[in-house]
Amino acid sequence: MTTIFPTTPSLDRSRIRVGIIDDHALVSETLALVLSEKGFDAVGMNPPDLDAVAAFAAENNLHVILLDLNLGELGTSLPLIPRLCDLGYLVIVLTGDTSRPQWGACIEAGAARVISKAVTFTELLERVTLLLDNVVERHNAEHQELLASLRKHREEQRERFAPFEQLTEREHEVLLALTRGMTAEEIAASLFVSMATIRTHIRAILLKLGVKSQLAAVTLALRVGGISDA
């Protein structure tokens, strides 16, 4: 028999922590269990009051909250939606209410989607899974984008520092002295070498850094941060 919900190996569902908020513990716990079996990091809650939901979300480091619109004795969870969204959670509303204006109110409050509970559990699970996989895909895309950005930044850093890595220890000392405003004469005196030696070092520095003047070398060193006392 073919399963209705094939696993998707390319998606790391465990990256997404999902909270199910429902006034029926059986519903929240069952949905959390099934989603966990599908690879999501899911936890359920039967809230004692509305304020407890935000605390639960923070305590469990949730990314997505599946929020039942009607929380029984606690009433509608509609006021919770903007509060949770402001805290950075993605809210998906589950409801047996078929009123389109009510659904619109959920979206207006900040919910990403509204899913009808007036379907079989299998259909509900399918819709929830598809939405969560979409969240995983976006999360993974952002994850890869950030890693690519870091790799690019490091490569650019290596390229900027490469010319300075060509400097000898003495050339590094001379360039450091130049950035401190010392003249060639002062550098020669401080290092107990001749002016001819310092001029040779300076020419080598300009050549290796690909610049034509001491000022350009100093400017490049200060901008890139290619020298230090270490």
* pLDDT 10s digits, 139-198: 555 445 555 676 667 777 888 888 888 999 999 999 999 999 999 999 999 999 999 999
What letter represents residue 26's amino acid? L
Range list of H helices, the chain: 25-37, 51-59, 80-86, 100-109, 121-165, 169-179, 184-191, 195-209, 214-224
Residues of the chain with pLDDT under 70: 1-11, 136-148, 150-152, 226, 228-230
User: Cβ distance 102 to 95 under 8 Å?
Assistant: yes
User: Cβ distance 13 to 129 under 8 Å?
Assistant: no
CATH of 13-146, one of 3.30.70.2190, 3.90.110.10, 3.40.50.2300, 3.90.1150.10: 3.40.50.2300
Contacts for 178-181 with beta carbons within 8 Å, 24 or more apart?
178/202, 178/214, 178/217, 178/218, 178/221, 179/218, 179/221, 179/222, 179/227
Quote the DSSP letter at residue 187: H
> What CATH class does 166-224 carry?
mainly alpha
> What is the rounded distance in angstroms from the CA atom of residue 49 to the CA atom of residue 79?
12
Domain edges within the chain: 13-146, 166-224
> What is the rounded distance in angstroms from the CA atom of residue 28 to the CA atom of residue 22?
6
| pLDDT value, residue 2 | 37
In DSSP terms, 19 is beta-bridged to 43, 65
In the numeric block, which tokens belong to residue 133? Answer: 């996989």
Token look-up 């001379």 returns 174
3 state SS for 50-76: CHHHHHHHHHCCCCEEEEECECHHHCE
Could you tell me which of 146, 130, 135, 228 has the C-alpha nearest to residue 179? 228
